[in-house]
Amino acid sequence: MIEQVISILEGEFPDATIALNFEGEFQLLVAVILSAQCTDERVNKVTPALFARFPRVEDFAQCDIEELEKLIYSTGFYRAKAKNIRAAAVMIVEEFGGAVPSEMESLLRLPGVARKTANVVMWTAFGRAEGIVVDTHVIRISGLLGLVSAKLSAVKNAVKIEKELCEIVPHNKWGGFAHLLILHGRKTCIARRPRCGECVLNKICPSAKPVPVVAGQ
């Protein structure tokens, strides 16, 4: 079934890619950290002024934390995000020569970086897929499609969901898989009002709601 899901969604979204706007690895890292519990659209409204004020990783490492908080306030959880972004910038400058590390183990050492963020950076910045990005869309839709166990989907266990998905998704599809589900979740499989009647996966989705039959047709 996974091959069908991927094939159908690739046909629906042939240019599936990250929706965040950025230039370079560090801006990508910052944008992904800001996207936690926030829409990509909101992040893209915040980052132009943010990156204009702090164009280099060194600028973030030396920035005034209160100014940074004000610039990212609308993305939510701004205090924690500001603290992590500056701390990550400091570590990158002091331990990695000012360059975002390209190894998973090193990325995971950065403040504010967990598996999801590291997977996004690894694939988008360095073209290396060492796992599958698991966000709310991926958790929900992979559960609805029966790709992962209902129990894991219900408790939103991202680590175990990633492991299960990595076992069934072909390795050469790991990098783009999440983008397909994310775009499908935004366009059709909307959490509160799924459009099952318009869904390209309707015929193979075990959770699809029956399309109502109009009298006289």
Query: Residues 125-130: what's their mean pLDDT?
Result: 94
CATH 1.10.760.10 fits 2-15+132-198, yes or no: no
Q: Note whether 95 and 71 are within 8 A (CB).
A: no
Sign of CA dihedral 102, 106, 110, 115: positive
Q: How many Å apart are CA 198 and CA 187, to the nearest integer?
A: 10
State the catalytic residue, choosing from 83, 135, 163, 173: 135
Q: Note whether 78 and 72 are within 8 A (CB).
A: yes
Q: Residues of the chain with pLDDT > 70: what percent?
A: 97
Domain residue spans in the chain?
2-15+132-198, 25-126
Nearest Cα to Cα of residue 121 among 24, 40, 56, 41 = 24
Average pLDDT, the chain: 93
Instruction: Please give the CATH topology (third level) of the domain spanning 25-126.
Output: Endonuclease III; domain 1 (1.10.340)
* Residue 116 is a catalytic residue: yes
pLDDT digits (tens, 9 = 90+) for 114-125: 999 999 999 999
Six-digit token string for 131: 């796992």
Predicted local distance difference test score (pLDDT) of residue 187:
93
Predicted local distance difference test score (pLDDT) of residue 11:
96
Contacts of 63 (CB under 8 A, 6+ apart): 54, 86, 89
State the catalytic residue, choosing from 15, 45, 59, 116: 116
| The pLDDT of residue 217 is above 90 | no
Predicted local distance difference test score (pLDDT) of residue 156:
80
136's enclosing H/E stretch is: helix 136-144
pLDDT digits (tens, 9 = 90+) for 45-86: 999 999 999 999 999 999 999 999 999 999 999 999 999 999
* Residue 59 is a catalytic residue: no
Q: Note whether 100 and 29 are within 8 A (CB).
A: yes
Q: How many Å apart are CA 182 and CA 172, to the nearest integer?
A: 18
**SS3 state at 207:** coil
